[in-house]
Amino acid sequence: MSRIAGKLILITGASSGIGAACARRFAVEGADLVLWARRADRLERLAAELGAEHRVKLSVAQVDVRDRGAVDRAAEALVRAGRIPDVLINSAGLASGMTKIQEGDPEDWDRMIDTNLKGLLNVTRAILPHMIARGRGHIVNIGSTAGHQTYPMGNVYNATKFGVRALTEGMNLDVAGTPIRVSSVDPGLVETEFSEVRFHGDRQRAKSVYQGLQPLTGDDVADTIAYVVNLPEHVNILDVVIMPTAQRNVYVVHRET
Ligand code: NDP
Ligand code: 8X3
């Protein structure tokens, strides 16, 4: 049974990867969508594709989640139009660089902390009070296995994803006594643009991350998110960890050579 049809779902990071896969999956389920990211051309193309295939309402906005003013303006526009999201999927995020901390680039650190932690907070702060006032809502944060185990040169990315886990747990406590649900979906290796962004456009190096194994796709993660969102209102999944079968934890990854 689908409880997703007719819901309004706000997805950050909808221009690529897991966020775009969620948009496709939720459009199939009949949800109305609000899609945010920085690359407006990508969002418009995706909305045109989904609008042609499904009878759902779609709106897009160019929003950099690091820009608190822009986030607040975009959220206020939704609220003024009476479009308080039923579900917020905080997927906007990135790794930037992969070096030892003693050789790290503080610009990379800022990018990750400002996007993965402060960006997620900016969006949540702008939307959650309206969900609480309206008495309905579900926040799904995209964490990572990197928020459960550190790995060499993962340092600041690991810290942001451990932080996302703490924020999920904290939010979940802070909304106690309300009907708001808070969940985290924490994937392992998913082949998206993630590694290309992490390695600053080095496609060969990005490809090697997924070599010799069948990684997850954005669609696999979107399936899990759809499961979490589709549960009845009295059921809340706090955290799901999802990995390719070839991956057992951050370190144990079986590759065919
Ligand atoms: P992609 O690079 O394919 O997608 C990242 C998305 O985040 C893009 O839509 C990008 O859009 C958006 N984004 C990045 N920075 C900002 C910003 N400042 N403001 C608004 N949007 C932004 O990677 P994934 O889909 O894989 O990543 C999505 C989430 O999943 C991230 O939080 C990542 O940490 C997490 N994750 C990924 C895993 C993987 O192996 N791929 C595993 C575990 C977790 P745009 O550039 O247009 O702004
Ligand atoms: C992304 C997964 O293993 O590259 O969060 O950190 S990993």
Mean pLDDT of 189-205: 98
With respect to residue 182, please indicate whether it lies within any of the assigned structural domains: yes
The pLDDT value given to residue 28: 97
Is 210 known to be catalytic? no
Q: Is 96 in the pocket of ligand 1 (CB under 6 A)?
A: no
Mean pLDDT of 230-234: 98
Helix (H, G, I), strand (E, B) or coil at 239: strand
Q: Is the pLDDT of residue 44 over 90?
A: yes
Ligand 2 centroid to 36 CA: how many Å? 22
Q: Is the pLDDT of residue 257 over 90?
A: no
With respect to residue 52, please indicate whether it lies within any of the assigned structural domains: yes
Q: Is the pLDDT of residue 242 over 90?
A: yes
Domain containing 78 equals 8-242
Ligand 1 centroid to 177 CA: how many Å? 32
Mean pLDDT of 226-243: 98
The pLDDT value given to residue 215: 98
Element (H, E) at 10: strand 8-12
Q: How many domains does the chain have?
A: 1
> Torsions phi, psi of 147, nearest 5?
-95, 5
With respect to residue 113, please indicate whether it lies within any of the assigned structural domains: yes
Residue whose CB lies within 8 A of the most ligand 1 atoms, among 194, 208, 242, for a mutation test: 194
Catalytic residue among 157, 210, 227, 251: 157
Mean pLDDT of 173-191: 98
Query: Which atom of ligand 2 lies nearest, measured to the CA of 144?
Result: 5
Residue whose CB lies within 8 A of the most ligand 2 atoms, among 120, 141, 157, for a mutation test: 157
Contact between residue 98 and residue 198 where contact means Cβ atoms under 8 Å apart: yes
Query: Which atom of ligand 1 lies nearest, measured to the CA of 209?
Result: 40
Q: Which residues line ligand 2 (CB under 6 A)?
A: 144-146, 154, 188-189, 250
With respect to residue 142, please indicate whether it lies within any of the assigned structural domains: yes
With respect to residue 223, please indicate whether it lies within any of the assigned structural domains: yes
List 242's β-bridge partners, or say none. 187
CATH at residue 133: 3.40.50.720
Contact between residue 35 and residue 47 where contact means Cβ atoms under 8 Å apart: yes
With respect to residue 254, please indicate whether it lies within any of the assigned structural domains: no
With respect to residue 251, please indicate whether it lies within any of the assigned structural domains: no
User: Nearest 5 degrees, angle CA 251-CA 186-CA 5?
Assistant: 150
The pLDDT value given to residue 156: 99
pTM over 0.95: yes
With respect to residue 257, please indicate whether it lies within any of the assigned structural domains: no
**What number of helices (H) and strands (E) belong to the chain?**
9, 7
Ligand 1 centroid to 179 CA: how many Å? 28
232: left (phi over 0), alpha (psi -120 to 50) or beta: beta
DSSP symbol at 193: S
Mean pLDDT of 100-116: 98
Q: Whose CA is nearest to atom 10 of ligand 1?
A: 13
Mean pLDDT of 43-69: 98
